Amino acid sequence: MPKARASIDADGPAIRAVDLWAPSSEKTPQLLSAEERARLAVIASIVRFNKGEKIYGEGQRAHAVFNIVTGVVKAYKTAPDSSEHITAFLFPDDLVGLSEEGRYTNSLTAITPVTAYLLPVSALRSRLSNDAGLEFHVICKLCHELRQTQRHAFILSRRQALSKVAMFLQLLEQLQAVRGERITEIYLPMSRSDIGEYVGMSLEAVSRAFRGLTTRGIIKSRDRRHLKITDRSTFDKIADNTNASSAAGSVTQ
Amino acid sequence: MPKARASIDADGPAIRAVDLWAPSSEKTPQLLSAEERARLAVIASIVRFNKGEKIYGEGQRAHAVFNIVTGVVKAYKTAPDSSEHITAFLFPDDLVGLSEEGRYTNSLTAITPVTAYLLPVSALRSRLSNDAGLEFHVICKLCHELRQTQRHAFILSRRQALSKVAMFLQLLEQLQAVRGERITEIYLPMSRSDIGEYVGMSLEAVSRAFRGLTTRGIIKSRDRRHLKITDRSTFDKIADNTNASSAAGSVTQ
DNA sequence: CGTTTAATTGAGGAAAGTCAAGTGAAGTGG
DNA sequence: CCACTTCACTTGACTTTCCTCAATTAAACG
Smallest Cβ–Cβ distance between B98 and the set A20, A81, A85 belongs to A20
Q: How far is A208 from chain B (nearest CA, A)?
A: 18
Architecture of domain B158-252: Orthogonal Bundle (1.10)
Residue A223 CB in 7 A reach of strand C: yes
The pLDDT tens digits of the residues spanning B36-95 come to: 899 999 999 999 999 999 999 999 999 999 999 999 999 999 998 889 999 999 999 999
The pLDDT tens digits of the residues spanning A77-90 come to: 999 888 999 999 99
Q: What is the CATH number of domain A4-156?
A: 2.60.120.10
Pairwise CA distance, residues A141 & B142, whole Å: 10
User: Cβ(B31)–Cβ(B139) under 8 Å?
Assistant: no
Residue B125: list chain A partners with CB under 8 A: 21
Distance of CA A127 to the CA centre of its chain: 26
Interface of A with B in 141-180 (CB under 8 A): 142-143, 145-147, 149-150, 152-154, 156-157, 159
Architecture of domain A159-252: Orthogonal Bundle (1.10)
* Percent of all residues in chain A with a pLDDT value above 90, rounded to a whole number: 68
In the three-class reduction of DSSP (H, G, I as helix; E, B as strand; rest coil), residue A91 is classed as coil
pLDDT, residue B26, reads 65
**How many angstroms separate the CA of B204 from the C1' of D19?**
9
Residue B23 banded pLDDT, cuts 50, 70, 90? confident
pLDDT, residue A26, reads 64
Q: Which residues are within 8 A (CB) of B107 and not within 5 positions of it... i.e. 6 or more apart?
A: B54, B56, B57, B58, B75, B76, B77, B78
User: Cβ(A179)–Cβ(A92) under 8 Å?
Assistant: yes
Q: Going by DSSP bridges, is the β-strand pair B95-96/B64-70 parallel, antiparallel, or unpaired?
A: antiparallel
Pairwise CA distance, residues B210 & B220, whole Å: 9
The pLDDT tens digits of the residues spanning B174-215 come to: 999 989 999 999 999 999 999 999 999 999 999 999 999 999
Helix axes B161-178, B232-240, angle to 10 degrees: 120
pLDDT, residue B62, reads 94
Is pLDDT larger for residue B165 or for residue B16? Answer: B165
Residue A198 has pLDDT above 90, yes or no: yes
pLDDT, residue B63, reads 93
pLDDT, residue A252, reads 37
Q: Is A223 touching B (CB cutoff 8 A)?
A: no
Pairwise CA distance, residues B58 & B213, whole Å: 36
A18, A20, A121, A171, best to mutate vs chain B, most B CBs in 10 Å: A20
Rounded average pLDDT over B12-16: 90
The domains of chain B are located at 4-147, 158-252
Closest residue to C16 measured CA to C1′: A205
Residues 117-136 of A with CB under 7 A from strand D: none
Q: Do residue B19 and residue A101 have CB atoms under 8 angstroms apart? A: yes
pLDDT, residue A244, reads 57
Residue type, B61: R
Q: What is the CATH number of domain B4-147?
A: 2.60.120.10
